[in-house]
Amino acid sequence: MLMVALYRRTPMCRLWEREKRLYSQASPRTQRVVRLTYQAAFLGAKAATGHNPFAYVRNFHSHRGMRWRNDVHDWLGGYPYESASPEELAAFFGRAGLVVQRAFAKPVTACGLFGSHCDEYVLRRDSIPRRG
């Protein structure tokens, strides 16, 4: 068995790959400006969709085990960046003789404008080789 978590492919993945490359090479001051801009836009989108952005940030640690600000920095600077659709993943691992046994996949939201999430998969060998 193999367990894998990969970023879900979205229409915005090319943008995010470029952003992450630039962010990881940027000065600390530029990174701070990018982080603050992203945080303001993300929390504004939360509020615009009827969610409480203050509660989101306040409760983030209990859901993710880290501070929201740290997660934003990790997301913005996570380069190299790879993503895959569920179909691409199944095809890739299928060529290696693995099949998806379970998938924990969520739909893409806002075309990936504020990032992607990880889909999680449990894979197993297609057939177990028999001995002697």
Domain boundaries, the chain: 2-125
Considering Cα of 58, then 62, then 64, then 69, what sign does the dihedral take? positive
| pTM for this entry | 0.77
pLDDT in tens for each of the 132 residues of the chain? 999 999 999 999 999 999 999 999 999 999 999 999 999 999 999 999 999 999 999 999 998 899 999 999 999 999 999 999 999 999 999 999 999 999 998 888 888 888 888 999 999 997 765 454
- Which residues lie closer than 8 Å to 111 by C-beta, 6 or more apart? 10, 11, 12
What are the beta bridge partners of residue 120? 5, 104
